[in-house]
């Protein structure tokens, strides 16, 4: 995929969920375009590719641990220009009548609370300097009720609300906060159905209307654009990257 040499030269960007899928594609693209990249993943082994390349600062760990969030942002050493909140988990397609408390709380901890904490830390660092750009990855499930289970759907709607509020509240600090809402993407995220009813309802509909499955690099391109100065007039937006699914 076409990249822009030097687009992120001299800039420092944090990417969460960088061990695979969209996060990995985003980190690699930013590196190719000149950024100093700080990467996080819950699985330290998956970050090994960056160690082999010697190309990124690695901070492994679970972002629901506030200590890991602190370590991640301390690695920026006070200089932060961008944040891509990519890390997330699915919910087994459990409808609200079947969802258990443990699933609900874990999905919200990873997909909302960790995103809030990372966004909060980024805003504090960026406000003290010259601003920056934050991109939070939501989902088609943030735009409709027919793409996932109750916990994931509610969490991704929350990501959009959090992002729009942050965009409004911190625009005077020179900080932009936007959302990318992917459709189906070829990634390694765990999406094993745990509800016969939930999966049957969704699969029947998606079989009729869902467009093609994207590659992680397709979503990384949208994230990189929103992180870059090329999108300086875009703030509080939700950019669907779903091959037209959201138009149905």
Query: How many domains are contained in the chain?
Result: 1
* 247 belongs to a structural domain: no
Q: What is the pLDDT of residues 11-27, one digit of tens each?
A: 999 999 999 999 999 99
Catalytic center residues: 152
* 1 belongs to a structural domain: no
* 41 belongs to a structural domain: yes
* 38 belongs to a structural domain: yes
* 49 belongs to a structural domain: yes
Res. 9 pLDDT band, cuts 50 70 90: very high
* 245 belongs to a structural domain: no
Domain ranges, residue 82: 12-240
DSSP 25-83: HHHHHHHHTT-EEEEEES-GGGGHHHHHHT-EEEEES-TTSHHHHHHHHHTTTT---EE
Q: What is the pLDDT of residues 93-145, one digit of tens each?
A: 999 999 999 999 999 999 999 999 999 999 999 999 989 999 999 999 999 99
Q: Residues of the chain with pLDDT > 90: what percent?
A: 82
- Domain containing 31 — which CATH number? 3.40.50.720
* 165 belongs to a structural domain: yes
* 3 belongs to a structural domain: no
DSSP 76-116: TTT---EEEE------TT--TTT--HHHHHHHHIIIIIHHH
Predicted confidence (pLDDT) at residue 248 exceeds the cutoff of 90: no
Cross-sheet strand order for the sheet of 175-182: 56-60, 36-41, 12-15, 82-85, 132-137, 175-182, 238-241
């Amino acid at each position: 995929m076409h990249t822009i040499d030097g687009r992120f030269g001299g800039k420092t960007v944090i990417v969460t969920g960088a061990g695979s899928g969209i996060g990995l594609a985003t980190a690699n693209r930013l590196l190719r375009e000149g950024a100093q990249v700080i990467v996080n993943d819950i699985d330290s082994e998956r970050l090994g590719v960056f160690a082999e390349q010697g190309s990124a600062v690695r901070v492994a760990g679970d972002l629901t641990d506030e200590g890991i969030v602190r370590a991640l942002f301390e690695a920026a050493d006070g200089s932060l220009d961008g944040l891509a909140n990519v890390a997330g988990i699915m919910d087994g397609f459990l409808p609200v009548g079947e969802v258990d408390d443990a699933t609900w709380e874990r999905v919200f901890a990873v997909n909302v609370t960790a995103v809030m904490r990372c966004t909060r830390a980024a805003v504090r660092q960026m406000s003290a300097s010259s601003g920056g750009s934050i991109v939070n990855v939501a989902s088609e499930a943030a735009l409709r009720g027919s793409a996932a289970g109750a916990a994931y759907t509610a969490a991704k709607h929350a990501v959009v609300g959090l992002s729009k509020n942050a965009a409004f509240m911190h625009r005077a600090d020179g900080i932009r906060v936007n959302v990318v809402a992917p459709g189906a993407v070829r990634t390694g995220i765990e999406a094993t159905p745990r509800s016969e009813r939930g999966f049957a309802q969704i699969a029947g509909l998606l079989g009729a209307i869902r467009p093609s499955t994207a590659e992680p690099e397709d979503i990384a391109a949208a994230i990189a654009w929103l992180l870059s100065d090329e999108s300086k007039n875009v703030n509080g937006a939700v950019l669907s990257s779903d091959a037209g699914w959201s138009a149905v």
